[in-house]
Amino acid sequence: MNQGLANQVVLVTGGARGMGAEHAEELVALGAKVVVADVLEREGRALVDKIGQGAVFAHLDVTDADAWKRAIALTEDTFGPVRHLVNNAGVLTYGSLESLDERAFRRTIDVNLTGAWLGMRAALPSLRRAGGGSIVNVASTAGLIGYAHFGAYVASKWGLRGLTKTAALELSREGIRVNLLHPGPIRTPMIEGLDAHLVDTQPIDRIGEPHEVTAMLIFLLTEATYSTGCEFVIDGGATLGQLETRATQPG
């Protein structure tokens, strides 16, 4: 068992499925006490039933400040103060600059960026009561480069980078580290239907698996004790640039 996580209280947003579910399950296996926070009630409760006593479900719309207060209160009542916050919840919106609906754009910013800000603000008193800890904001390679037709998503993730660095500066003297995780194409429901062409020109030419992101997350929570405001990329080399496709390679 990673002793750095034994009995540590971790709140994971977007925890009901995909990367969040993988994070929650592995964190509990390592001895952490995990709050699976999500709007997906059925999936979230099913996951908690599977994991066992080390986890509890909290219904959380990350865009709702009052819902955040309730989630933090549930966490403290069940396990104690929050030691680690993982802002993993996110939505992916497709549409060009001209075609994307304004409501969809605002919703994407609300969930991916405002939601993380609300979460850090709500969790801060609890983190202080825990004596410090860490926050990991889950961004994306879309926070490092642009993607055509994903402008709202890209804007939200670039914004999350700046917010994370600001929070890292403000909270550094309180023993709270704040870092960024940038996954590339990972096998989750979010990219279902898009994954076939995503890795054609990528140096590591396969889709990443959620457990690979979880391994990096655990490192950030337990081992990266001299890192704050930093960005950790797990993308199969996607942000290096593009290789030729197999079809265009000689031979």
**Could you give the residue numbers annotated as active site?**
153
- Report the alpha-carbon distance of residue 116 to residue 120 in Å, rounded: 6
In the chain, beta strands by DSSP E:
9-13, 33-38, 55-59, 84-87, 133-138, 176-183, 231-234
- Report the alpha-carbon distance of residue 149 to residue 25 in Å, rounded: 33
Burial bucket for residue 34 (CB in 10 Å: 0-12, 13-18, 19+): buried
Contact call for residues 174 and 4 (beta carbons, < 8 A): no
- Report the alpha-carbon distance of residue 124 to residue 140 in Å, rounded: 24
Contact call for residues 142 and 113 (beta carbons, < 8 A): no
